């Protein structure tokens, strides 16, 4: 029997469907120090962002020779040493289509929250403070949204922002995208200079460090907003706090952090920050789609 280990949770109907097809599914989170040994007993591991599948774990699994497939339920695979796993003959797959709409909507939610002080006024009112005159916000209609990275999530966000009356510009490592003629392509520095809102949709590459650091924040428009629903590490958190404190940025929407759970209390308690605990894909609809994609990957692999 093919055994599947689900470490970070999975939509319940998807698990039922796998079991109905004769797969054995074990739902259990294992600490890093014992995960490699446990993988000697499984053909597939399904992870989200909490479980890290690094070289030592891959080595133990590869030595046993049973593990054939690692699936990331979500888009980013930076918690998996992908190239190393493939060198060891283990396939790595993700579910890039399932959560695009959910992450795009969260980015938009942060934009609204910052623009109209939903984040901080919600807190102050619960403290009995009526700061009506203090919260003079801005409309997003008529503003320019700069998308850093133009993949599936950015495409979803671009459509939604355009419908709300925003001008969308984008940059991408591959250059101008063929099917994005309705939006203007520009280089990163130009995008940062022109955008009222900058939303990041790029992976974190440890060797390259933060894509948005002090130099990039200095280039941005005075009073602009920064949204990161991509990956922790793509923004220098220290430089971000400095930009918020100085008023260079009017606000930041942050769903992902360098360390998770984050211990950066200055950032999460900053009055100019709208913050969420890495919930970009945490919608019922996205979880159903992720489950369906995982099922398809497993079926196709073992058919």
Closest residue by Cα to residue 47 from 20, 69, 16: 69
260 is catalytic: yes
Count the residues in the chain.
303
Greatest distance between any 2 Cα atoms in the chain: 65
**Complete DSSP assignment for 119-186:** HHHHHHHHTT---GGG-----STT-EEEEES-SHHHHHHHHHHHHTT-EEEEE-TT-S-TT-TTSEE-
231 is catalytic: yes
Catalytic option among 110, 270, 278, 289: 278
270 is catalytic: no
Q: Which residues of 209-225 are buried (b: 16+ CB within 10 A; e: fewer)?
A: ebbbeeebbeebbeebb
Catalytic option among 231, 270, 272, 289: 231
| DSSP-H helix ranges across the chain | 12-20, 32-38, 55-64, 82-87, 100-115, 118-126, 152-163, 188-194, 214-219, 237-246, 265-268, 284-302
CA within 13 Å, CB half, 163: 8
Structure tokens at 301: 């692999």
User: 């948005």: which residue's tokens?
Assistant: 212
DSSP state of 257: -
* Residues taking part in catalysis: 231, 260, 278
């Amino acid at each position: 029997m093919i055994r599947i280990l689900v470490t970070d949770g999975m939509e319940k109907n998807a698990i039922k469907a796998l079991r109905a097809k004769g797969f054995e599914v074990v739902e259990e989170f294992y600490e890093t120090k014992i995960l490699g040994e446990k993988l000697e007993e499984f053909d597939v591991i399904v992870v989200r962002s909490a479980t890290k599948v690094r070289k030592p774990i891959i080595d133990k699994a590869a030595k046993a020779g049973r593990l054939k497939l690692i699936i990331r339920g979500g888009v980013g695979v930076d918690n998996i040493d992908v190239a190393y796993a493939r060198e060891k003959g283990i396939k790595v797959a993700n579910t890039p289509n399932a959560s695009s709409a959910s992450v795009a909507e969260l980015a938009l939610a942060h934009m609204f929250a910052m623009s109209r002080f939903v984040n901080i006024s919600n807190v102050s009112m619960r403290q009995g403070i009526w700061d009506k005159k203090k919260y003079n916000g801005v409309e997003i209609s008529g503003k320019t949204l700069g998308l850093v990275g133009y993949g599936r999530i950015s495409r979803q966000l671009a459509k939604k922002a355009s419908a709300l009356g925003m001008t969308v510009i984008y940059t991408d490592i591959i250059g101008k995208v063929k099917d994005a003629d309705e939006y203007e392509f520009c280089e990163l520095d130009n995008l940062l200079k022109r955008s009222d809102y900058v939303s990041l949709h790029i992976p974190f590459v440890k060797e390259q460090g933060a894509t948005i650091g002090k130099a990039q924040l200095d280039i941005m428009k005075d009073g602009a907003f920064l949204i990161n629903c991509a990956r922790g590490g793509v923004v220098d958190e220290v430089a971000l706090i400095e930009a918020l404190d100085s008023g260079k940025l009017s606000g930041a929407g942050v769903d992902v952090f360098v360390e998770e759970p984050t211990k950066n209390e200055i950032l999460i308690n900053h009055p100019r920050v709208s913050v969420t605990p890495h919930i970009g894909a945490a919608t019922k609809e996205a979880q159903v789609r992720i489950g369906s994609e995982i099922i398809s990957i497993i079926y196709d692999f073992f058919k």
